[in-house]
Amino acid sequence: MEIVAIAIVLLFILFAFVLALRHSGESDDVPHNDYSWFTNHIHKNEQITSVTSLERGTWSERDLIYELLEHGIPAGAIFHDLYINKFGDKYTQIDLVVATKVGLIVFEVKDYKGWIFGRGNQDKWTQVLSYGDRKYRFYNPIKQNAGHISELRKQSKQLSKIPIFSVIVFYGGCVLRDISIVPHNTYVTTASRVLDVVDTIIEENQLANYTDKREIVRILKNAVDNGNNENIAGKHAKQVQDMLGKDRVFD
């Protein structure tokens, strides 16, 4: 009887675990009897944890990590949720950096629905919902990521010279309706085309002249480690909230 009781308890634990996984930010329309989904989910989590924690960043960032890994990018070349020291206790946060043979790719990951309008030289872009009934303004992600790259370049003489590519990735099913004036070495894409962008960057550019790859890895790893510091991450979150107040006003 004790063995039967233990087996029942284990079954309940497994059932609860599956339910928890189903509600961890993944799609809600997965069939209850689809056990292949369960094994695929375990595989995906194992892949992601080779790079970062499942509790770190957004689900979109983690999904991008998984897509890059499945595409053949080595785990050691992917750096997630980096905090680059600007000065004093000021930091800039970068969603994702991938080290490639042609240089670094710096990703800014956005989650938006609706239609997206914007130009590279504007301060604010526009999100349109409900067929135009609702409009939200948000800070130009091209300029945002350019600021991240600028601070990253200041971290060493080598980083000031090597090619760095900016990729803005939109998740959430939004449609890029009118995006223009995109600067050189900058790309704006939806999640469905992000791997095409990565391939284009790698295929169409010459090999980067790295003088010390270990230095690059050390700087990027240190920036990732900064994110484990609750004091650094907390202060940065507060700074972002203060800065973005006006961006949450819509008309």
* CATH number, position 238: 3.40.1350.10
CB atoms within 10 A of CB 87: 8
Establish if 112 belongs to a structural domain. yes
pLDDT grade, residue 26 (50/70/90)?
Answer: very low
Establish if 146 belongs to a structural domain. yes
* pLDDT given for residue 154 in this prediction: 97
Residues 213-236, mean pLDDT to the nearest whole number: 88
Establish if 230 belongs to a structural domain. yes
pLDDT grade, residue 6 (50/70/90)?
Answer: low
**Which residues form the domain of 111?**
57-248
Query: Helices 59-70 and 35-48, interaxial angle, to 10°?
Result: 90
Establish if 162 belongs to a structural domain. yes
Total domains, the chain: 1
Residue 169 has pLDDT above 60, yes or no: yes
Establish if 52 belongs to a structural domain. no
- The dihedral through the CA atoms of 131, 134, 137, 138 has a sign that is negative
Establish if 13 belongs to a structural domain. no
Asked if residues 174 and 112 have their Cβ atoms less than 8 Å apart, the reply is: yes
Residue 87's SS3 state is: strand
Token match 């790698």: residue? 202
Establish if 123 belongs to a structural domain. yes
pLDDT in tens, 58-70: 999 999 999 999 9
C-alpha to C-alpha distance for 195 and 120, rounded to whole angstroms: 22
Establish if 174 belongs to a structural domain. yes
Token match 């914007």: residue? 118
pLDDT in tens, 129-153: 988 889 999 999 999 999 999 999 9
